């Protein structure tokens, strides 16, 4: 776990126990991808990630030291003003212990979703887990039984095989999605459409928020 407490007024214990997290940004918008596409939700983007996807569109989230250590009480207060659906994303949010944040949001009656690579231990009793496995840091085994949604980013044709390797590990009720990597969407989208039509247990996910030009 990173040390984000240098020159800050929070203790390393508060960070370690999940009561303070490096908050990159928070905003109210429309969920643009996966199972809950089209749903209004409040997004909480947590800083810190060492998974290192070369096509990541939020690389500025990787270094937690560049984001303000924020008490989770402040995040809960802000979120409660906008929505009863909260999406925690990153970065890789599970770099940190998410249990206090999830519990605090749920105590306010909110449903809490997470978008994760599964590279770090699973913490928090989430209402929805979107597992998006990455080749640079494959998921820990505990995620497969817990995932409600498997979303695989397709950057090249080899990613279809990668997707199936994970699909056989998740539960039968887990929703399966293939999503083109944004910079390769024109090339990969026809292949994804063809694959889903031949393998209907999969569904297509698009980053519709980018088409709509919203956060």
Q: How far is CA 55 from CA 87, 183, 184, in A?
A: 21, 8, 10
Query: Tell me: the pLDDT tens digits for 167-183?
Result: 999 999 999 999 999 99
Closest Cα partner for 15 from 82, 101, 83? 101
H or E element at residue 208:
helix 208-212
CB neighbourhood size of 210 (10 A) = 14
| pLDDT > 70 fraction of the chain, expressed in percent and rounded | 96
Give the relative orientation of helices 99-107 and 72-79 as an angle to the nearest 10 degrees.
40
Q: Mind listing the domains of the chain with CATH numbers? A: 12-212 (3.20.20.70)
The reported pLDDT for the residue numbered 54 is 85
CA dihedral 122, 60, 14, 9 (to 10 degrees): 180
Q: Is the dihedral of CA 193, 195, 197, 201 positive or negative?
A: negative
Looking at residue 6, what is its pLDDT?
46
Contacts of 58 (CB under 8 A, 6+ apart): 24, 45, 90, 91
* Degrees, nearest 5: CA angle 159-187-57: 70
Instruction: Give the tens place of pLDDT for each residue, 124-156.
Output: 999 999 999 999 999 999 999 999 999 999 999
pLDDT of residue 3: 60
Q: Which pLDDT score, from 0 to 100, does residue 1 have?
A: 57
Segment 61-76 mean pLDDT: 94
């Amino acid at each position: 776990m990173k040390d984000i407490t240098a020159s800050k007024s929070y203790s390393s214990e508060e960070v370690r126990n999940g009561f303070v997290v490096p908050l990159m940004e928070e905003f109210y918008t429309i969920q643009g991808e996966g199972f809950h596409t089209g749903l209004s939700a409040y997004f909480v983007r947590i800083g810190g990630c060492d998974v290192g996807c070369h096509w990541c569109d939020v690389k500025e989230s990787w270094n937690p030291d560049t984001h303000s250590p924020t008490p989770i009480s402040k995040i809960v207060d802000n979120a409660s003003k906008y929505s009863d659906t909260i999406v925690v994303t990153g970065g890789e949010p599970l770099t940190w212990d998410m249990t206090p944040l999830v519990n605090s949001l749920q105590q306010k009656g909110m449903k809490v979703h997470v978008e994760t690579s599964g590279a770090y231990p699973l913490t928090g009793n989430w209402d929805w887990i979107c597992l998006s496995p990455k080749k640079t840091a494959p998921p820990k085994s505990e995620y497969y039984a817990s995932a409600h949604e498997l979303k695989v980013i397709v950057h090249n044709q080899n990613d279809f095989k990668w997707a199936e390797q994970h699909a056989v590990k998740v539960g039968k009720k887990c929703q399966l999605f293939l999503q083109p990597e944004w910079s390769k969407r024109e090339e990969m989208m026809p292949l994804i459409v063809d694959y889903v039509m031949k393998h209907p247990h999969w569904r297509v996910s698009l980053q519709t928020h980018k088409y709509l030009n919203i956060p």
